Structure 1
Amino acid sequence: MHLNMGSAKQQTAISKVMSLLQEWDKGKKAVRQKILVDFIRQNQNKTGPELEQEFAQAASLFLTRLTAWLRLTYMVGNCLNEQLKAISVFLSASSGHKFMAEFLEVGGVLTLLEIIGLKQAKEEDKLEALKNLTYIANAGRKYKELICESYGIRAVAECLAKSKSEETQDSCRNLLLMLAQGNPKFEVQVYKGLIALLPCSSPKAQQMAAQTLRIVQPIVKAANPSIVEPLLNILKTLHLEVQFEGIELIKELMEYDVSDRLLQGLVRLLHPSKEDTIRRPDILEGAQNMILCRESNEIAEKLIQLRVTHNLLYAMGNEDYADSQRQSSISLEWLKLLIKHLKMII
């Protein structure tokens, strides 16, 4: 009796799934969109086994249809958000590695990376694609390597630089950080990708890149000399949040081989170019932002070795020089604080 009831229940479930799949195959955009919305609502946060039970052990048949339609239509954006959210139900399911493997086998990673690079794609669609990439990266090292081998670092970094949505940018930053952690084969490539973001035109992207570099730098250990110039250049920005992250990163880099080059570059900033005098950012204003001397006597001594003490003392006694310095990228108030500290240790 119980066996017959179980068998009847299974047959009903199978019939329901087959009916759904036939409806999908025959249906146009509106029909498929409704199926997706219902699927997302009913199956959010379900485990892999629960999804299989819902689809009478045939969940893969629905996933196959879903991924095929995504690959055919993502360029034109038909129900793209719903498609990506439905895919995330499968990729985020615990004990659902089978679904992830099936999605990756049909080139799912490349499709997601192409979506975040589409000019015509909406920010909310890019965000959903990034969430799916994050689910994949979170599955382990081999999945991170797959994303990187698919030129994912560049794609995610470009999305971060070009995006107008802070939520999308934050998702990009978090994904890049994930790709740098526990992924020794590609950690240096992520590091270089973050350095490449420092000169970009988006202040938010610059801030996030500098912030993330502070975490990634100890992972890669050695500091790449290519970090020096773009890092110094962001100190000229008018955006205080970018200045702050740049200053904090410079502090971190004082422990690495690039410290002398950074100090030399900071000294050069004391002598403004014509381009610098056109605008004056409120950079390094006040004692809380002093990045050279207040960190340690060792840094101050390095400055003395660079023979800048005389120039600085001269600047304080020369009003013409001081007037021009007011237009430089380094504030006069900062110079006073710097001189005061130098005098204390000479």
Structure 2
Amino acid sequence: MRLSRVLSTLFFISIVSCTDGDKAIEEVFAETERGTILRNINRVSKDFIHTDFESVFELEIEEQDIEGGNLLDFVRLHIEFRDRTIDGSDNSTQEVILKDIPSNAFIIGPDAFPRTTILVSYQEVVDALAINTGLIEPGDQFGLRLETHLTDGRIFSTLDTSASVLTDACFFKSPFRYEINVIEVIPEDLFTGTYSYEIVSDVINPSFGIQEEGIVSIMAGDLPNVRTTGIIGEGLEFTIAGAYVYPKIYQSVNLFCIESGPHILSGPNDTNFGTIDLNDDTVFFLDIDIGFEGWDGTLDNGDDAIGVSTLYTFKFTKQ
């Protein structure tokens, strides 16, 4: 059985709702291996400012395991650079280890599980990856991946979990992976207001239940360059980075927060990026994979099959 489909039963048993008021699951399957999560408690800051190497990614996390956090040894951070600049060259890097956060850096939080704040500075990742800063442009990205190491030697990360654990729409909110965009801060009123939208992709999957056109309100998020709107169940969040539009990873399309259910997730496409004109917010495009990383709602726990993603391109026009 593939590990990426296993964690749904490693640690939890009952139906998980989509509210933050739920308590941690107390019942576990006696016959299954117990896992761990790194619950996303608070995104304080998420992107790097292009020329500000003191800017930071900051995230508060909570580690949960079957022994109340006592299995935690350390959390390892991995980082990579993705060159999105179209200039005929590709300065992307392989993933490297950034640093380890030991268990003694965690303190017991209000839910009786250990919590800590992850701080990753722009300069820190540039140094770790030995990148020429002159090659970094707005719209480039850094990929941050978290990996939990337990005292018994087991390791858990993004591939060792389930759709209902990965998404922020459900209680556990443990993606283990975050995209850090390189941005230039834009005014909060740009790309906000009432927009019509239409799906202009060649292929539309009716089983995803997304309306092909409509009218939505786009609002500024709590963090720079973040915008939110409706369309999918969780609410579509995206970030404007340079001339690109990047949707948040692991967003829930159908809010199906049941471990054995057909949960559909969305996320950024690997090669197609929505485009935007920073001088004109009347029209822009957003590319997004529905069924991101195979989470297309067709998988059950224990099924080794991999679902498929469908690239959707949305055209937004200001009203």
Is TM-score (shorter-chain normalized) higher than 0.5? no
Which structure has more RCO (C-alpha within 8 Å, separation ≥ 6)?
2
TM-score tier after normalising by the smaller chain length: under 0.3
Higher strand share: 2
Higher helix share: 1
TM-score under structure 1 length normalisation: 0.19
Between structure 1 and structure 2, the one with the greater Rg is: 1
